[in-house]
Amino acid sequence: MIQNSLQRIFDGMVSSVTETVLPHVDDPYARYQLQCLLDLLMNVAERVEWRCDELRGTLDALEPPLRQAVAAGYLAEELGALPFRTEEMTNEQLTELRTAHLEALAALQRSDGDRPDPDSEPAQRLAWQIAAAALQIQADEYELMRRARIRLNALRGRAKEQQRG
């Protein structure tokens, strides 16, 4: 899971390029390209949110273990009242819910050694569902990174070919 907030990533990209890259670029055309990059980044930043299908995918992976934990009474009272996602939720609501669900799952995972009945069927089922959710989320995130790398390599390759040609 990307750790930084979307807006901080945009702001950090602009700060870094402005302060550490631009002062070292003397070519006027290259400088103008960089200035357009900064302009585009800030304009995109005003218009984007984390993708809702990715947020929904993560929430869908988290739902089975959280429902099982609620049913088995493994979640603390304040987390037991956790809402689940609905189709009407906005991106902002989905993002907040993802944070809450991930925190709730982490609380469950931290306390896995303290359960009084670790060999019972509900506890075993919960452990299996937690592992399945954790691995699913990791696999989905890894796939996004893999696709980004392929896309980056393709663009770099094309740029190099054009330079050679």
- 126 vs 165 by CB, closer to another protein: 126
Which of the ranges 4-12, 24-32, 74-82, 86-94 carries the binding residues for another protein, by CB under 8 A?
4-12
For residue 14, CA distances in Å to 34, 41, 43, 145 come to: 10, 7, 12, 22
In the bound state with another protein, the residue whose beta carbon lies nearer, of 88 and 115, is 115
Phi, psi of 140 (to 5 degrees): -65, -45
**What are the residues whose beta carbons fall under 8 Å from the beta carbon of 105, sequence distance 6 or more?**
62, 65, 66, 130, 133, 134
Give, in degrees to the nearest 5, the angle at Cα 2 between 136 and 139.
20
Binding to another protein (CB under 8 A) within 23-82 occurs at: 62
Nearer to another protein, 15 or 43 (CB): 15
Regarding 130 and contact with another protein (CB under 8 A), the answer is: yes
State the amino acid at position 25 in one-letter form. Answer: V
**Contacting positions for another protein (CB under 8 A):** 1-5, 8-9, 11-13, 15-16, 19-20, 62, 99, 102-103, 105-106, 109-110, 112-113, 130-131, 133-135, 137-139, 141-142, 144-145, 148
